[in-house]
Copies of this chain bind each other. A is one copy, B any other.
């Protein structure tokens, strides 16, 4: 499938009061190439393997394939991932008809919080909550695959 999503910085942590779901995520990459990434993730009590293709020019759509796998297998695969395993907490927040996923990063990406919204069309209208900051859709440095190689703490 293709996923259409837009990505934003988050200005303050007031989103936490509105969150209906909170899960710890640990993830690594078997591959962080621009044209294809292969991600291993443990989210709460489940494991996932996710393959993404190249983005379109605007950075809004991207081929994505995902399979759930046993956590014990995800743990074994995390061990052979590239350096730079990412840890974050994901909050989910209802805003109008949509759900925002807000990721608060830890470790080498501490201080960074990113909100994402998945849309069904590129021009779909959605409500912007007051904690939503600058749009960073299509900015490659905010891809998790890039945060793994060049984490937030190394940015100027």
Contact = CB atoms under 8 A, between A and B. Distances in A.
Contacts of A82: 36
Q: Is the interface of A mostly helix, strand, loop or mixed?
A: strand
Contacts of A35: 80
Contacts of A76: 63, 65
B36 A80 contact: yes
A31 B33 CA distance: 8
B36 A53 contact: no
Copies of the chain in the assembly: 2
Interface string A13-35: 00000000000000000110101
Contacts of A51: 30, 38, 77, 80
A67 B65 contact: no
A69 interface: yes
Contacts of A49: 49, 67
Given A30-B31, A31-B38, A80 B63 contact: yes
A73 B65 contact: yes
Interface of A: 30-31, 33, 35-36, 38, 49, 51, 53-54, 63, 65, 67, 69, 73, 76-77, 80-82
Given A51-B77, A53-B80, A67-B67, 14 more contacts: A30-B30, A30-B38, A30-B51, A31-B36, A31-B38, A35-B80, A36-B80, A36-B81, A36-B82, A38-B51, A49-B67, A54-B80, A65-B77, A67-B69
